[in-house]
Structure 1
Amino acid sequence: MSQSRWQALWLVHSRKRGWLARLLWPVSQVYAGLMALRRTLYVLGIFKTHRIKVPVIVIGNVVVGGAGKTPTVIAVVNHLRDQGWRPGVVSRGHGRHSQEIVEVRPDMPLEECGDEPALIRQRTGVPVFVAASRVAAADTLVGAHPEVDVLVCDDGLQHWALHRDLQIVVFDDRGTGNGWLLPAGLLREAWPRGSSGSPLQDMVLHQHREDALAPPPISAPGASLFSATRRLAAHAVGPTGDRIPLHELRTHRLTAVAGIARPSVFFDMLHARGLRPERKVGLPDHADAADYAALIQDSECTLLCTEKDAVKLFPLLAEAQPASRVQAWAVPLELTPEPAFFNTLDHRLHTLGRKP
């Protein structure tokens, strides 16, 4: 059986406690014990937690796969900036080929910074630093940009070495899956997190597609629970920043491409917008730029991709011009949290004694 077939089988059983999940359950108990031990060592002070001089907001998910973390980071950073804060972002930069501490620059090769940090930098314009250690990235960022007065940590819930003042846990329509930890389920750590030893009250953002029924509620005792809707914008953006209404693409011969954790989600959202691609190409999350190269050889198609794919695909198209006449458009994702989410975020920052 191919790797993709095994992965599809695992995803089914990890959501329903099927036979494969039950077979892997003993292994998940070992994993749970190791995670609990690691957290206890931080709580007891045996493993040290590093505090920096500005408030830290950690945004992440406790389930594997794409739960909407990056759109949440972008939405939170843009909100903070609109409120007068001067935010910065730190990330590990999954998929990059370097372990060095780097500041993401507009023209930096993605191999050095990773696709998600590049997208965050593009969508927010704030300083973004990546490193294998988020502590190292945070220290370097605040040293290089003393104007930064709040730090957002991209995907760092389990990175206990970095002290955090606020935690935002992101869920999508999968919820907690079957409620079991890896590899028997989707969870990276036990949920609810009340037993983790953290004194912080989590903010939980449960996202669902606007065109779909709201998923069952998340059990989150002790946490503040909020909802958010996701949908694709009514337009697409080209390599030069030009826009086109999605309905004008319905007559095109479309190829949809998505190099994200769950490509089918993007394809379904295109369908909800009335688009029917002739071909759908799902690539691995954090796919290399070379994986996109074959897509620009077909001059008869119009490529539709996510914004995350565009940071790799658009530069390839620029290099291939004028030999390639392929059109490519990225469809932005719009995330709309309920108003109480940002109101609560603002209030909690102010209770820390910090104001923009």
Structure 2
Amino acid sequence: MIARIWSGESPLWRLLLPLSWLYGLVSGAIRLSYRLGLKKAWRAPVPVVVVGNLTAGGNGKTPVVIWLVEQLQQRGVRVGVVSRGYGGKAERYPLLLAPETTTDQAGDEPVLIYQRTRAPVAVSPDRCEAVQAILAQHDVQLIITDDGLQHYRLARDKEIVVIDGVRRFGNGWWLPAGPMRERASRLRTVDAVITNGGIAKPGEIPMRLQPGLAINLKSGERREVVTLPHVVAMAGIGHPPRFFNTLAECGVQVEKCIALADHQALSKAQVSGFTGPGQTLVMTEKDAVKCRAFADEHWWYLPVDAQLAGDKPEQLLQELLTLARGR
């Protein structure tokens, strides 16, 4: 239902407009207060790069963060990552991730980023505190914040926005009548726009998510996902249909699709009930970090990597290298 409202297909969005106007008024006032100096942003002693969204829901932001971290690491840059840690409930904040940190503590996306990159990762509702936690323990040259475009208390040197190239901005209205956290005009003030899927507009960086080999949660075995029998697909991400479409593009004939809420907590009893005898469960990597501790032999996940096209990605990386080495 919410997808139909945000796309404009359902007329119910008109009933929510008063709440959207209020949302827009409050969010605009917050941003203006920082621009006018009425509120002071904290500037870290190292450059900060924000990777964020204008809309609610999954746009492919976390794969972009992983891509940036890995690309910078390959060029010799020491990178740290901070996040709000949605879905996690740590005993205290800021929380600096360690190998034993669970998704219950830190949230699924920070754990995924940490496991994929081994970069220092810290979570806190106050991202300034998360940055300070990393700097107290690690000699990093640059901080990437996973989400936080609207967290203006943390000053930033670069802003990168990831948009869904298929859904783009729906009906264009603020939450809750539409998907917007800020209006599309905000794109004029950011440093780069990465478009995940669909057709990128002039000036935007085209991106697609490239699936790898399916990986068994229990044994670590790798296999082409199309060879797995009787697949049941599970996705607890911002936009589950994207994962189901990816499986279809890989040639998988999915017997059942299970769409879960983003950041939803999972249990063995719940997940085990999704499949019957002889069926194989295939999930996203983001779900896998929540299920690995209690996985069954027939559970697999499909990792994806961001692939950015054109000359602009290299230009962006060069700008970040200059930032990291210049301060």
Q: What does 1:343-354 align with in structure 2 at a 5 Å threshold?
A: 343-350=314-321, 352=323, 354=325
Give a deviation string over 1:288-312, Cα, whole Å, max 9, x none. Answer: 122x533336553211010001111
Q: Find out whether 1:247 has 2:226 as its counterpart.
A: yes
Question: Could you say which residue in structure 2 is the equivalent of 1:314?
Answer: 292
Q: What does 1:90-239 align with in structure 2 at a 5 Å threshold?
A: 90-98=82-90, 99-145=92-138, 147-172=139-164, 173-193=166-186, 201-208=190-197, 214-215=198-199, 217=201, 224-233=203-212, 235-239=213-217
**Amino acid of the residue matched to residue 281 of structure 2?**
L
Count of residues in correspondence between the two structures: 322
Give a deviation string over 1:111-162, Cα, whole Å, max 9, x none. Answer: 11111000000111110011111000001111110x2101000001000000
**Amino acid of the residue matched to residue 234 of structure 2?**
V
For residue 196 of structure 2, give the secondary structure of its aligned residue in structure 1.
strand
**Amino acid of the residue matched to residue 78 of structure 2?**
R
Describe the shift of the 1:280–1:30 C-alpha distance in structure 2 as closer, same or farther (beyond 3 A). Answer: same
Q: Quote the Cα distance in structure 2 between the aligned partners of 1:194 and 1:225.
A: 10
CA contact (8 A) 1:118 1:311 kept: yes
Q: How far did 1:346 drift?
A: 2.6
- TM-score by length of structure 1 reads 0.85
Where do 5+ consecutive residues of structure 1 fail to align? 1-7, 209-213, 219-223, 318-323
RMSD of aligned alpha carbons: 2.1
Identity of matched residues, %:
36
Q: How far did 1:347 drift?
A: 3.3
Q: How far did 1:17 drift?
A: 6.7
Q: What does 1:41-56 align with in structure 2 at a 5 Å threshold?
A: 41-56=33-48
Give a deviation string over 1:216-238, Cα, whole Å, max 9, x none. Answer: 738xxxxx5211122322x2012
Q: How far did 1:73 drift?
A: 0.5
Q: What does 1:63-102 align with in structure 2 at a 5 Å threshold?
A: 63-98=55-90, 99-102=92-95
Where do 5+ consecutive residues of structure 2 fail to align? none
CA contact (8 A) 2:51 2:146 kept: yes
Tell me which of the two structures has the higher relative contact order, counting C-alpha pairs closer than 8 angstroms and 6 or more residues apart: 2
Give a deviation string over 1:42-64, Cα, whole Å, max 9, x none. Answer: 11222110011111110010101
Q: What does 1:7-46 align with in structure 2 at a 5 Å threshold?
A: 8=1, 10-16=2-8, 18-46=10-38
**In terms of mean alpha carbon deviation, does 157-166 or 239-248 score higher?**
239-248
